[in-house]
Structures are given as C-alpha cells and as structure tokens.
Amino acid sequence: MKKINKILIANRGEIALRIMRTAKRLGINTVAVFSDADRKAPHVLFADEAVYIGASPSRESYLNMDKILAAANETKADAIHPGYGFLSENPLFATAVETAGLIFIGPPASAMIQMGSKIAAKKTARANQVPLVPGTDEAITSYEFALNIARETGFPLLIKASAGGGGKGMRLVDREEELEEQMKMASNEALAAFGDGAVFIEKFVTKPRHIEIQVFCDQHGNGIYLFERECSIQRRHQKIVEEAPSSCLTPEIRKQMGSDAVKLALGCDYVGAGTIEFLVDEQMNYYFLEMNTRLQVEHPVTEMITGLDLVEMQIRIAEGHPLSILQNDLKINGHAIEIRVCAEDPFNDFLPSIGTIETYQIPKGDHVRVDDSYQAGMEIPIEYEPMIGKLIVHGRDRMDAIQKMKAAISEFKITGVETILPFCDFVLSHKDFISGQFDTRFVSLYYDEFKSLYPNAIESEAAAIIALKAYLDELQITRSVKVTGNQWMNTTN
C-alpha cells in the first residue's frame, strides 16, 4: 500500500471543491489547476496550491494531459483525481499518470477501454449473463445486416454510437424506410464527435426508466453495490433530477440488479467507483445500458442514503486498502433527491443563459446540501458546461424528501442569469413524479404544460431575446445565441 499525501485534482468547479474537502478532512494536501476563466474560482482559492495550465478553452487547459502532468510533477503530487468529464474516462490519461509514477484515482485503463466502447461493454455483459436490450452487440457493417437485425428486433429501434454518450450519434427509427438514412447520419455524427463511426442497433424500450447502480471494487477482487439511483428526468439525454432509492424497484429486483452490476464490474477487473446503467421497462425487466467508469455527478444522493463518503472510498482503494464494508452491512437510510442547478433557460428549450450572477443565496439546513462553485459577481464561462451546482436533500421517506426539496428550491435565490430551478419545482410538484409513475419521456410529455403555467415569463423571454439581439448587432457580434447554446451542451452524465 502507498499512502497518498498530495492530490492534484484535474478538474474544475464544484467537483474539484468536493474532492478537496474530503482530501483536507483526511489530512491530504490538494493542488488545483486552472485556466484563464478560472483564475479566481473558488476551487483555486480553496486548494493548498494552484497551477495555471492554459487558456480558457478546455483543449488548451483541462484536456491538456502534458500540462496537467507537468503541474503534478512541479508540485510533487502523489496522485491525480480526474473528477468527472474532461479526462476522467480517457484511458490514455490513466496510463500516462501511472507511467509518470503517480497514482490514478480511478479504474485501470484496460477497464476503461473495455467498458468505454458500448459494443465491447455489451459483449462483456453477455459473457457475464447480464440482461441486454435485444439488438446487436457488434458494429453494424452494412445496411443489409442492419435491416436483418431491425426486422428481427422490430420497430421502433435505436441506432447508437459505440463510443461516447450524451445523445450524440443516437437516432430513433420508427419505420423501415428510414433505417438507411438514419444509420448514415448516426455514424457520421459519431465519427465527428468521438472519432469512431461504429454504431449498433437496440430495440427501443417505449416507456423506460433510467436506473443506475453504484458499484465499488478494490484491488483485491472484492466488489459491492451501494444501491441504485433513479435518473429518468432528463433533457437532451442529460439528467436534471436524480433520487435514491428508486420509487419503482422491489427489494428482490434491487438485489438482482446490484448483483449483476458487481458481476459485470468484476468481469472487467474493475477498480474504484463505477456506475452500471440500466433501462427498466414497464414489466420491471431490466437491461444493461452502459458503464460510466468514474464518479458520477449524482453521487451525493448515494452518500445521503448510505452515510458513506464516496471520494474517501476512492482514495482508500487507490492507496491499496481493501473495501472497509461488506454488502450485508449496507442499509438504505431514508430518501435523497438531487437537482442540477444549471444556468439554462427553461422557457427557451433549456438553452444556456449567459451573464453575471448578481444574487446568489443558497438554502441551508441539516437536511440540505449544496455542492457548488459560484458566488455573486461571478460570470458563467462560455467555455464549460453551465452547471452552477447541485442541490441535494435527505428525508425520512420519499414524500418528506420531495417537500424538503421544494422548500429548498424556494430558498435558492439566483438572479442575473436564468436557471432551471422553476422547471425542477414543476417536476417535484407534478402528480406523475409524486406518484412515481414516470419515465424518461417526462420532459417531452410535460414541457408544454410547464410553459403554459408561466405565460408572462415567456413574454419576458421574448423581449429579452430581442434586446440581446439588438445589443449584439450594435457590437457587431456575429455569433448567434443558438450557436453559443450548442457550444455549451452538457456532456456530463
């Protein structure tokens, strides 16, 4: 075992701060890295040391492996924690860290490669007898091959990119005559986004729940699952509201899903924190979707119901310690809900909202947790995803958690930019969410209903867009609001 004395966090924002807080509690020194946009960011000020790594675009800073490794060498760090997003699931980075003689706080590169390709991951799932959505677990090589599979699985079906995620390279096909064109479009989009045009086919589950299992594996061949998270409330295939446990699973299905998740993780020699994502249909059949080989944005709800610090577990496992808890020791305590507080306009198709935060007042209370990285007077940088932070509450049961979250949302005051807080409040108040009878279609089904409740907000939004356009025209800025919004698409699951 090798004790970690100093960790460089190869990330920014709320996740960098969250990792630093645990490290400091454990007596471990921390190193922040920062770009031009983050010179005065809270994670930079909180760290014991900070190193400038480049210009604001992530390819020149947070995605630059050489600069991050140089910063680790300069500060004599023992280990690097990648957080999520950026380089967190890059096997080349994991290998480079270890080659430099540092500890990578994450899974081995071999597991990343095996589970990072959806096709390879599906083959691993099949080999370990984990249920799969009907379709292919190999790349589509021709239209004829795709047509045969499509006729076998039936329509509607999904064409999905093997690499990457976030909805890129994904196409829903309702009819046979659409198949060839949609297959080409999915492959081209996947190639442009991920450098890999391989796609595969899955049967489309019409009313799916998106449920994920948190797993941990140590370096000694032990694995456990920390129950599930419900992640079905999504826009653009990105999560908005997450909760633990799910409202739809029975104890028997939970145990079966958890056991399959651990079996799959151990089947690829996994180490550290990982998440196995499943689709669950109306009959409670579940199917392996993909594995995220990192810490998840929504990990706090798991911490709330288990009482465990997942970052501490990551660090101890990276040092070589065996898991300190057995599966039978784990119990679900109450219910937790998290919402992602993003600077997005819920009245304008969730496009990013540019500007400076004028008022920033967070809710407080024993049952409330806010993981954030912003203060009043800070700007939302255009170069990164517009997540201001995460609001998490814990209740004695699901209804108690819902009420506490609604109260916390009402106390969260942010002005200067639009946020998705009004939509989150709408979700928490909706009868389908309260009853637990919802699926991944929630936003598409009820978005118009949400907008109809706020007609004045929509009129104000139209006026704001006209005023902004006039301002941009005056400054002769040619970049459109729509293009800017697309640059900010959230890429973190």
CATH of the domain at 237: 3.30.470.20
In this predicted structure, what is the pLDDT of residue 462? Answer: 54
Are residue 263 and residue 323 in the same domain, yes or no? yes
For the stretch 25-59, pLDDT in tens is 999 999 999 999 999 999 999 999 999 999 999 99
Q: List the structure tokens of 49.
A: 């040391």
Are residue 213 and residue 197 in the same domain, yes or no? no
The arithmetic mean of pLDDT across residues 346-357, rounded, is 94
Q: Is residue 318 part of a domain?
A: yes
Are residue 245 and residue 349 in the same domain, yes or no? yes
CATH of the domain at 169: 3.30.1490.20
In this predicted structure, what is the pLDDT of residue 127? Answer: 94
Cβ–Cβ contacts within 10 Å for residue 376, how many?
14
Report the percent of the chain where pLDDT is more than 90. 81
> CA-to-CA distance for 130 and 231, rounded, in angstroms?
20
Q: What is the number of alpha carbons within 13 Å of residue 243 lying toward its C-beta?
A: 29
Are residue 168 and residue 49 in the same domain, yes or no? no
The arithmetic mean of pLDDT across residues 164-179, rounded, is 84
pLDDT higher than threshold 50 for residue 142: yes
Query: By the 8 A CB rule, do 206 and 241 touch?
Result: no
Closest CA to 485 of 367, 285, 350: 350
What is the β-pairing status of strands 286-292 and 272-280?
antiparallel
Q: Is residue 417 part of a domain?
A: yes
pLDDT higher than threshold 80 for residue 68: yes
The pTM assigned to this predicted structure is 0.87
Question: How much is the mean pLDDT over the chain?
Answer: 92
Are residue 186 and residue 223 in the same domain, yes or no? no
From first CA to last CA, the distance across the chain in angstroms is 32
C-alpha dist (Å) from residue 460 to 386, 457, 466: 22, 5, 10
Residues in the chain, overall count = 493
Q: Is residue 400 part of a domain?
A: yes
Q: Is residue 157 part of a domain?
A: yes
The arithmetic mean of pLDDT across residues 196-225, rounded, is 94
Q: List the structure tokens of 11.
A: 């990330």
For the stretch 404-463, pLDDT in tens is 999 999 999 999 999 999 999 999 999 999 999 999 999 999 999 999 998 766 555 555
385 catalytically annotated:
no
Are residue 36 and residue 139 in the same domain, yes or no? no
Q: Is residue 389 part of a domain?
A: yes
Q: Single out the residue in 417, 434, 452 at which a domain terminates.
A: 452
In this predicted structure, what is the pLDDT of residue 481? Answer: 43
Q: CB-based burial of residue 480 (10 Å sphere; 0-12 exposed, 13-18 middle, 19+ buried)?
A: exposed
Q: Single out the residue in 151, 177, 203 at which a domain terminates.
A: 203
For the stretch 288-320, pLDDT in tens is 999 999 999 999 999 999 999 999 999 999 999
Are residue 217 and residue 262 in the same domain, yes or no? yes
Are residue 222 and residue 338 in the same domain, yes or no? yes
Selected catalytic residue, list 230, 242, 290, 298 = 290
Are residue 270 and residue 417 in the same domain, yes or no? yes
Q: Quick one: pLDDT band at residue 164, thresholds 50, 70, 90?
A: low
Are residue 309 and residue 166 in the same domain, yes or no? no
Q: What is the number of alpha carbons within 13 Å of residue 445 lying toward its C-beta?
A: 14
pLDDT higher than threshold 90 for residue 464: no
Are residue 288 and residue 231 in the same domain, yes or no? yes
Q: How many domains does the chain have?
A: 3
Q: Is residue 112 part of a domain?
A: no
Are residue 71 and residue 15 in the same domain, yes or no? yes
SS3 242: strand
Q: Which domain holds residue 344?
A: 209-452
Q: Is residue 147 part of a domain?
A: yes
Q: Is residue 110 part of a domain?
A: no
> CA-to-CA distance for 1 and 22, rounded, in angstroms?
20
